[in-house]
Amino acid sequence: MHPVLRDVYAARGVLHPAQAEHRLRHLLAPQALGGLARAVDLLIEAIAGDWSIVIAGDYDCDGATGTAVAVRGLRLLGARRVGYAIPNRFVHGYGLSPALVASLDPAPQLIVTVDNGVASLAGVAAAKARGIRVIVTDHHLPGEQLPAADALVNPNVLEVRACGHGTPACAQCADDARMNREFPSRALAGVGVMFYLLLAVRAGLRGKGAFAARTEPDLSCLLDLVALGTVADLVPLDFNNRVLIEAGLKRIRSGRACPGITALVEAGKRSLASICASDLGYAVGPRLNAAGRMEDMRLGVECLLTDDPGQARELAARLSVINQERRDLQEAMVAEAEAMIGALALEGVGQRTGVTLYEPSWHAGVVGLVASKLKERLHRPVIAFAPADEERPDELRGSARSIAGFHVRDALAAIDARMPGLIERFGGHAMAAGLSLKASDYPRFADAFDALAREWLDEERLQAVLYTDGELPPGTFNLDLARQLRDGGPWGQGFPEPLFDNLFECAQWRAMGERHWRLSLRDPRDGGVHEAVMFNVRAAAPPPRLRAVYELTINEWQGRESARLLLRHVEPAP
Number of CB atoms found within 10 A of residue 348's CB? 8
Averaged pLDDT for residues 95-111: 96
b/e string for 526-558 if b means 16 or more Cβ within 10 A?
Answer: eeeebebbbeebeeeebeeebbbbbbbbbeeee
Confidence of residue 143 (pLDDT cuts 50, 70, 90): confident
Write phi, then psi, for 8 (nearest 5 degrees).
-60, -45
Confidence of residue 347 (pLDDT cuts 50, 70, 90): low
Confidence of residue 169 (pLDDT cuts 50, 70, 90): confident
For residue 492, the model assigns a pLDDT of 94
Cβ atoms of 153 and 140 closer than 8 Å: no
For residue 186, the model assigns a pLDDT of 93
Q: pLDDT over 70 for what percent of the chain?
A: 99
Residue 534 has pLDDT above 80, yes or no: yes
Which secondary-structure segment (H or E) carries 518? strand 516-522
332 three-state secondary structure? helix
Q: What tens digit of pLDDT does each residue of 377-388 get?
A: 999 999 999 998
Averaged pLDDT for residues 259-270: 97
Number of CB atoms found within 10 A of residue 115's CB? 29
Let me know the angle formed at the C-alpha of 461 by 458 and 463, rounded to the nearest 5 degrees: 115
Q: What tens digit of pLDDT does each residue of 90-102 get?
A: 788 889 999 999 9
Averaged pLDDT for residues 245-274: 96
Residue 343 has pLDDT above 80, yes or no: no
Q: Could you tell me whether strands 53-56 and 82-85 are parallel, antiparallel, or unpaired per DSSP bridges?
A: parallel
For residue 538, the model assigns a pLDDT of 82
494 three-state secondary structure? coil
Residue 349 has pLDDT above 50, yes or no: no
Phi-psi domain of 35 (left: phi exceeds 0; alpha: psi -120 through 50; beta: other): left
User: What domains are there in the chain, each with its CATH number?
Assistant: 20-218 (3.90.1640.30), 345-456 (3.10.310.30), 479-572 (2.40.50.460)
For residue 345, the model assigns a pLDDT of 64
| Contact residues for 464 (Cβ-Cβ < 8 A; gap 6+) | 379
Q: What tens digit of pLDDT does each residue of 458-490 get?
A: 999 999 999 999 999 999 999 999 999 999 999
Q: Rg of the chain over CA atoms, in angstroms? A: 24
For residue 166, the model assigns a pLDDT of 76
From CA 12, how far away is CA 9, in angstroms rounded?
A: 5
From CA 447, how far away is CA 436, in angstroms rounded?
A: 16
Number of CB atoms found within 10 A of residue 139's CB? 27
From CA 306, how far away is CA 311, in angstroms rounded?
A: 7
Q: What tens digit of pLDDT does each residue of 543-557 get?
A: 999 999 999 999 988
CA atoms within 13 A on the CB side of 329: 18
From CA 241, how far away is CA 185, in angstroms rounded?
A: 8
For residue 17, the model assigns a pLDDT of 85
From CA 153, how far away is CA 528, in angstroms rounded?
A: 55
Nearest CA-CA partner of 569 in 521, 523, 524, 502: 502
From CA 336, how far away is CA 334, in angstroms rounded?
A: 5
Write phi, then psi, for 221 (nearest 5 degrees).
-65, -10
How many residues are given for the chain?
A: 574
Residue 350 has pLDDT above 70, yes or no: no
For residue 251, the model assigns a pLDDT of 97
| Beta bridge partner(s), residue 426 | 435
Q: What tens digit of pLDDT does each residue of 502-518 get?
A: 999 999 999 998 889 99
What average pLDDT is seen over the chain? 94
From CA 26, how far away is CA 458, in angstroms rounded?
A: 41
For residue 227, the model assigns a pLDDT of 98
For residue 348, the model assigns a pLDDT of 52
Q: Could you tell me whether strands 529-534 and 560-572 are parallel, antiparallel, or unpaired per DSSP bridges?
A: parallel
Q: Which amino acid is at 490?
A: P
| Contact residues for 133 (Cβ-Cβ < 8 A; gap 6+) | 42, 46, 109, 110, 111, 150
Q: What tens digit of pLDDT does each residue of 65-87 get?
A: 999 999 999 999 999 999 999 99
Q: What is the pTM of this model?
A: 0.92
Which secondary-structure segment (H or E) carries 102? helix 98-102
Write phi, then psi, for 98 (nearest 5 degrees).
-55, -35
